[in-house]
Structure 1
Amino acid sequence: MSVPVSPTAAGLWRRSRAAVLVGLLVVVTAVVGALIAGGEKPGHYLDPADTSLGGAKALARLLAAQGVRVDRVDSVAVAESLGREGERVLLVAAPWSGGFDEAERLAAIPGDRVVVGEQPYFDVLAPDIVAEEKVRLRSREPDCDLPAARVAGSAFLGGRTFEAGGTSCYDGSLMVSGTVTAVGSGEFMTNQRLAEDGNAALALHLLGARKAVTWLVPAPVPPGGEPVAGPGGRTIEELLPDNVPWAVLMAAVAVLLTAFWQARRLGPVVAERLPVVVRAAETVEGRGRLYNARRARLQAAEALRGGALDRLVPRLGLGSGAGANEVVAALAVRTGQDPGRLAAVLYGPPPSGDAELVALAGYLDEIERQVREH
């Protein structure tokens, strides 16, 4: 004999079934995520074992496919022991936190050395190369005779620029002096940028010239100081179970799904008029006052020049990867102005005072006006 379900029980099931479905979805997602993860822990910026956008596992796999052995190390002692094998490239990629003595030991390791970005004791790691000002990251042309740069073509470079008696490429953001190569930024080596332009070709030619690469990454350091070691010399991060990050992620997913479920019950979002309309001119003026209060003339000049170049390059019929020489030459033809003055305005040193900054802004406006009229 069938027993009818009471209206109260039926209503309770209708109200709770959404929560039950969300719970089941969270459980299934957690199980699938744990199976996919396989216990692998996240890495760090320019880490050859990291698969995130900022990591460099894709580059490490390309090197391995070409027969180049990649040894990931996080200590100077291991790098020294590998350096005695010979025929290796020492890569100091991510910002390294070693001391002066360790920097001297790294500099004494024989073989080629590639130093990426802003590193502590850069003058020790690259004694014949001088670090100069910063430039923004963008696609740049090599404009040099370095074989690796000629083969790669345009690459996503910028950051720190350098000066030395060696070979300068990509507007000074790549410098080769003897057996030392300095690169202003390692963004072109990351998983996110490796497939763009000639980034992969440039990275492979810089690191694949030898049979092996000693890839130095920083040791895990907590915000308070030295790595905290637990039983057996392992750090706290190594003692944590591998599934802890996934448990936190699944909890976040559950919270988001619950919020989405509850938000649907509240009905559609009601559009309201803003009490105040902020004009674009006021926003620009406010940002200018912030620059002035911080005396950030360098940042203000970079913003003015970057914005002007973004508007001028398409009007001149040039591509996004056009170099400084191409832009200056095209502007000189279009406006009839002196190329040297144009180069100083668009790519010169930052203004030393407010008057020079105002003059720079006015001259950039004048250049844009002449390009629009011609």
Structure 2
Amino acid sequence: MSVSTSPTAAGLWRRSRATVAVALLVVATAVFGALLAGGDQGRYLDPDDTSLRGSRALAELLRDRGVRVDRVDSVATAESLAREGDRLLLVGAPWNGDYSEAERLADISGDLVVVGDQPYLDVLAPAVEHDGQARLRSREPGCRLPAARAAGSAYLGGLTFKASGDSCYAGSLAVAGTVTVLGSGEFMTNQRLAEDGNAALALNLLGSRKAVTWLVPAPPRPGDDQLAGPGGRSIGELMPDNVPWAVLMAAIAVVVVALWQGRRLGPVVAERLPVVVRAAETVEGRGRLYRARRARVQAAEALRGGALDRLTPRLGLGGQPGADEVVAALAARTGLEPGHLGAALYGPPPADDAGLVALAGYLDEIERQVREH
């Protein structure tokens, strides 16, 4: 008699019920947290906002240095303040104006700092070209801009740009004349300002004038927010009072079901490996594969890459140093000929196996001399 081994609905449910219970718990918790938190998450890069996303701390630091900070939400106010002279205009959070207002902002005399993905960036900064995107993290300046070099590492990334002037922090800070464009303004928020050189960079960029005109998005006009209820109240405010309690009860029920039906896992079982391969044998096997395929180019790249990874920290070169910088540091450290060092580390691949062996020996000699000196 044959027996079917196809999975049944009951079997699939038994195997997946714990996962489903946990997923329901996560969803219920997220919904409940959103309802309790409400809609106020802070105003991004607002000089009057004390939340993590605001920039009240930076505004106070500027005022302590004698820089006047004027928060404005209209182009007309920014134009009137520009008549005082010696001002810097900062366009921070994504601005909600139209094309003609962007042209008026671009015509305001003085320095201009534009943050993030603005809707009319090509009008505000016509000499700056969008180049790509980089992950937000702590970065070194990597440029000659005095404001960036004095600040050092900063939390930058986001959009990247190309400009006629200096380009710093992997392209996330670009300068073209009197216009400075930033890929992200996270380093100027209350949450990030105290990290790395974020405060120093922000003060160097914004503190060069006697006053800063800080443009923020204008508040929505009545009728603009389609999700607002009577009196401008949000959906959360319009919900009945018992909805959060119902969500809480559902979350508790999900937790109880997860604890009741969840799979019990025992202790981890230690299992001996069927075979242990020495590292030397792995290296020899890989070398034989390179030789069988006559992959001298790949073998040379592997040798040079490994040598550079070991030499760069010993030479005190951080980040991704250039070839000239590495060769100069090695020549000063070992006394070897710079031309031979450059050919060994960055030259063309060897033409035959003998050349590959000679390259490996010379790289070993370089590492030995660096260790001894």
Give the TM-score normalised by structure 2: 0.55
Q: Secondary structure at the match of 1:61?
A: helix
**Is 2:219 the partner of 1:228?**
no
- How many residues end up aligned between the 2 structures? 258
In the TM superposition, what is the alpha-carbon distance from 1:155 to its structure 2 partner? 0.7
Give the match for residue 127 of structure 1.
126
Q: Give the whole-Å Cα distance in 2 for the aligned partners of 1:194 and 1:164.
A: 26
Contact map agreement 2:312 2:318 (CA 8 A) in 1? no
The aligned runs of 1:89-168 (5 Å cut-off) are 89-168=88-167
Give the match for residue 44 of structure 1.
43
Give the match for residue 74 of structure 2.
75
Instruction: Classify 1:52/1:165 alpha carbon distance in 2 versus 1 (closer, same or farther; 3 Å).
Output: same
Instruction: Classify 1:201/1:42 alpha carbon distance in 2 versus 1 (closer, same or farther; 3 Å).
Output: same
Instruction: Classify 1:339/1:128 alpha carbon distance in 2 versus 1 (closer, same or farther; 3 Å).
Output: farther
The aligned runs of 1:328-367 (5 Å cut-off) are 338=346
Give the match for residue 213 of structure 2.
214
Amino acid in structure 2 at the alignment position of 1:137: L
Instruction: Classify 1:202/1:267 alpha carbon distance in 2 versus 1 (closer, same or farther; 3 Å).
Output: closer
Q: Give the whole-Å Cα distance in 2 for the aligned partners of 1:65 and 1:247.
A: 43
Q: Secondary structure at the match of 1:90?
A: strand
Q: Which moved more, 1:63-72 or 1:259-268?
A: 259-268
Give the match for residue 282 of structure 2.
none
Contact map agreement 1:328 1:339 (CA 8 A) in 2? no
Give the match for residue 85 of structure 2.
86
Q: Give the whole-Å Cα distance in 2 for the aligned partners of 1:245 and 1:314.
A: 57
In the TM superposition, what is the alpha-carbon distance from 1:315 to its structure 2 partner? 11
Q: Give the whole-Å Cα distance in 2 for the aligned partners of 1:144 and 1:267.
A: 54
Give the match for residue 368 of structure 1.
none
Instruction: Classify 1:337/1:127 alpha carbon distance in 2 versus 1 (closer, same or farther; 3 Å).
Output: same
Amino acid in structure 2 at the alignment position of 1:228: P
C-alpha deviations, 1:62-101, integer Å up to 9, x for none? 1122222211111111111111111111001111122111
Q: Secondary structure at the match of 1:325?
A: coil
Instruction: Classify 1:267/1:100 alpha carbon distance in 2 versus 1 (closer, same or farther; 3 Å).
Output: closer
Q: Give the whole-Å Cα distance in 2 for the aligned partners of 1:62 and 1:168.
A: 26
Contact map agreement 1:107 1:124 (CA 8 A) in 2? yes
Off by >3 Å, runs of 4+ in structure 1:
236-242, 244-248, 250-271, 312-318, 321-330, 336-340
Q: Give the whole-Å Cα distance in 2 for the aligned partners of 1:255 and 1:86.
A: 58
Give the match for residue 321 of structure 2.
325
C-alpha deviations, 1:251-275, integer Å up to 9, x for none? 898778878988999996664159x
Contact map agreement 1:42 1:50 (CA 8 A) in 2? no
In the TM superposition, what is the alpha-carbon distance from 1:338 to its structure 2 partner? 4.2
Contact map agreement 1:134 1:158 (CA 8 A) in 2? yes
The aligned runs of 1:223-302 (5 Å cut-off) are 227-228=221-222, 271-272=262-263
Query: For structure 2, which runs of at least 5 residues remain unmatched after alignment?
Result: 1-39, 266-307, 331-340, 349-366, 368-373
Q: Give the whole-Å Cα distance in 2 for the aligned partners of 1:118 and 1:136.
A: 15
Give the match for residue 224 of structure 1.
none
Give the TM-score normalised by structure 1: 0.55
Percent sequence identity is 56
Compare CA radii of gyration and give the structure with the larger one: 2
In the TM superposition, what is the alpha-carbon distance from 1:53 to its structure 2 partner? 2.0
C-alpha deviations, 1:135-164, integer Å up to 9, x for none? 111111112222211210011111122212
Amino acid in structure 1 at the alignment position of 2:140: E
In the TM superposition, what is the alpha-carbon distance from 1:113 to its structure 2 partner? 0.4
Instruction: Classify 1:142/1:251 alpha carbon distance in 2 versus 1 (closer, same or farther; 3 Å).
Output: farther
Query: For structure 1, which runs of at least 5 residues remain unmatched after alignment?
Result: 1-40, 222-226, 231-235, 275-311, 341-373
Q: Give the whole-Å Cα distance in 1 for the aligned partners of 2:324 and 2:183.
A: 23
Instruction: Classify 1:101/1:328 alpha carbon distance in 2 versus 1 (closer, same or farther; 3 Å).
Output: farther
